[in-house]
Structures are given as structure tokens and as C-alpha cells.
């Protein structure tokens, strides 16, 4: 399975987790966010960045997750109806922190909070199978100038 990650070029030399809080992790819990498509990776960045930030220099990674690597799954049925609300983020952060702590898989499939019906994949860099996950392409990515005009 191929997944995609857009990040600032200066951080694109390796797969690394910042440990900064986001939808599925609290501060100091390292996980790597990826998307099931290039376009979803783009949208996931757009909603979190200002127009000025989108003019910075980015890369997009194409990442191979071999079929032999186990994937745990969180479905919409596992989440409350308002899980995408900002004030509910503690719930998803708790789920992600528990997954990292239990270290039960290298990949967690989660629903996108940006596009209904789309999928993101979280990578656990502490899991033994993480070493099987590789960057297969790393190239410049430019956000269209019409975004967030």
C-alpha cells in the first residue's frame, strides 16, 4: 500500500515524528501522519496552514507500507458523532496515545476529519515493523496559488 505525506522540505529527509499534538496524538507522543492519496495529503495540510505558510517549500513523500505490516483500524462506528469538533480532540488523542502505548501495530487506519469517507494512516515509529516502511519517492510539492487566496 502506498501512502502520502506532505511536509516542509527541510524535514523531508526521513520519516520522523515531531511529537507535537495533533488530531490523534497529544504532545510528546510521536506518530507520523500520512494520507491515502496525494490530494487528501494536500487538503489535510491546507486546513492547518495559512495562505502565507502554503508558499513555503514542501515535499511530498510516497511511502510504501508492505502488505505484511499489520494495520489496526478505527472506524466511524468507534467514534462519537461529533468526533471532528475541536473540543472532542481529547478523545481522538486518547485513542492514538493508547495505540502508541500498546504498540500493537505499526499502522493505524483512521477516518479523515477533513473529507468524509476518506482515510488517513498513522505510523508508529516505535513499532518493530516500522523498519519495513520505506520512502519510495520524495519530490517537490507546490500548493496551487489559487488555494486560500
Q: Look up residue 92 and give its three cell numbers.
A: 481522538
Pairing of strands 107-111, 71-73: parallel
What is the C-alpha to C-alpha distance for residues 41 and 74, in angstroms, rounded to an integer?
19
Q: What is the number of other CB atoms lying within 10 angstroms of the CB of residue 98?
A: 11
3-state secondary structure 102-123: HCCCCEEEEECCCCCCCEEEEE
pLDDT digits 0-9 by tens, 35-46: 999 999 999 999
Position of cell 500500500?
Answer: 1
pTM of the shown model: 0.95
Residues 59-93 pLDDT 10s: 999 999 999 999 999 999 999 999 999 999 999 99
pLDDT at 17 over 70: yes
Amino acid at each position: 500500500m502506498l501512502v502520502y505525506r506532505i511536509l516542509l522540505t527541510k524535514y523531508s529527509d526521513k520519516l520522523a515524528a515531531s511529537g507535537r499534538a495533533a488530531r490523534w496524538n497529544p504532545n510528546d507522543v510521536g506518530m507520523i501522519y500520512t494520507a491515502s492519496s496525494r490530494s487528501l495529503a494536500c487538503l489535510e495540510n491546507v486546513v492547518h496552514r495559512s495562505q502565507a505558510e502554503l508558499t513555503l517549500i514542501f515535499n511530498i513523500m510516497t511511502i510504501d507500507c508492505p502488505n505484511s505490516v499489520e494495520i489496526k483500524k478505527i472506524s466511524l462506528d468507534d467514534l462519537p458523532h461529533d468526533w471532528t469538533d475541536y473540543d472532542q480532540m481529547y478523545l481522538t488523542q486518547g485513542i492514538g496515545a493508547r495505540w502508541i502505548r500498546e504498540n500493537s501495530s505499526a499502522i493505524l487506519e483512521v477516518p479523515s476529519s477533513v473529507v468524509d469517507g476518506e482515510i488517513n494512516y498513522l505510523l508508529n515509529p516505535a513499532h518493530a515493523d516500522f523498519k519495513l516502511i520505506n520512502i519510495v519517492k520524495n519530490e517537490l510539492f507546490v500548493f496551487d496559488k489559487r488555494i486560500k487566496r
